Amino acid sequence: MATTAPPAETTTWSKEDAKAAKKRSRRMHRKEHGWAAAFMAAPVLGWVAFLLFPMGFSIYASLTNWNGIGKMTFIGFDNYVLLVKDPYFWKALWNTVFYMIGIPIGLAISLALALALSRKIRGRTFFRTVYYIPVISSLAAIAILWQWAYNGDFGLVNQALALVGIDGPNWLADSTWAKPAIIIMAVWKGMGYSMLLYLAAVQAVPRSLYEAASLDGANGWKKFTKITWPMVQPVTFFLVVTNIIGGSMIFTEINIMTPTGGPEWSTASLVWYIWNKAFRNLQMGYATAMALVLGILVLIVTAIQFRINRANEFSID
């Protein structure tokens, strides 16, 4: 990682020599150190002021009963006890996890699209652009658009379903269909991004691998499972990690499409609930506790994924 580290010529020296040399080099490079520190100052300052400090403050605030303005009353772990007993917290957590069903679905479609677009198909650039446009569109605008598209009587979705003879539900007003509705929209919006990443990965697979496999008589499916899938695995890993982190923060579409948390609270996500508790009900202490739990959950899930990924790692030269 550290390419600027001096080469390991210290091996022939004694420890004292090495120490002295280090000191000498430190003195010699003092000016450089100063500039390097200055160049890094802004992000480091931002890190301390807007990450480290708020984190510390959060930990304390989560142990208090506090409305954000008045006095903070220390109540120990009461907020966390409350949280464990709060059915809304569990419901919101369940909803948030449920939304993640969209991740494997989206990735499967994206990979299929990438495989299709890696072939010599006319209008590849056109398709690529069309599939990517929802990604760059603002989520707020897209959520508004889909909220209307899901309208039971006049919405675009049910109009389209009627063409094939399906009588669609009143999506967002139906506690069974509200979550799937949001998942479909999220898949539609995010697909283009995963597709582009997969496309780059698929195109980077050496052709010789496929040729060798063909000579050995491998069929298309075999080639996919034994060559393509392992070769795009780093991208899959990256996408799963970022999608889970992103998915755990799902808020905008929930708040715009179902401002009250959906029928029977069926769409409320964890971040939506935290936001409500903090900025509508002014239960800052409790909301902070939930936010910390969210952060820790994300951290644990990410760590597990890295662990699994390391076990699956391989390399080809």
Three-state secondary-structure class, residue 67? coil
Question: Minimum CB separation from another protein for residue 297, in Å?
Answer: 10
- If one asks whether residue 215 binds another protein (CB under 8 A), the answer comes out as yes
Q: Indicate whether 127 belongs to the interface with another protein (CB under 8 A).
A: yes
- Computed over its alpha carbons, how large is the radius of gyration of the chain? 26
- Determine if 88 is a binding residue for another protein (CB under 8 A): no
CB contact at 8 A, 291 and 58: yes
Closest approach, Cβ 290 to another protein, in A, equals 9
d(CA 213, CA 220): 10
Tell me the number of residues near another protein by CB under 8 A.
Answer: 106
Among residue numbers 172 through 191, which ones bind another protein (CB under 8 A)? 188
Query: How many of the other CB atoms lie within 10 Å of CB of 245?
Result: 13
Quick check: 207 binds another protein (CB under 8 A)? yes
- Three-class SS state of 166: coil
Taking the complex as a whole, how short is the minimal distance between the CB of residue 175 and another protein, in angstroms?
21
Separation of alpha carbons 7 and 16, rounded Å = 18
How far is 84 from 221, CA to CA, in rounded Å? 47
Q: Segment 10-39, which members bind another protein (CB under 8 A)?
A: 26, 29, 32-33, 35-37, 39
Q: Which of residues 137-166 bind another protein (CB under 8 A)?
A: 137-149, 154, 156, 159-160
Query: Which stretch, 10-18, 52-60, 87-95, 165-173, contacts another protein (CB under 8 A)?
Result: 52-60
Which residues touch 159 (CB under 8 Å, ≥6 apart)?
Answer: none
Residue 70 contacts another protein per CB under 8 A = no
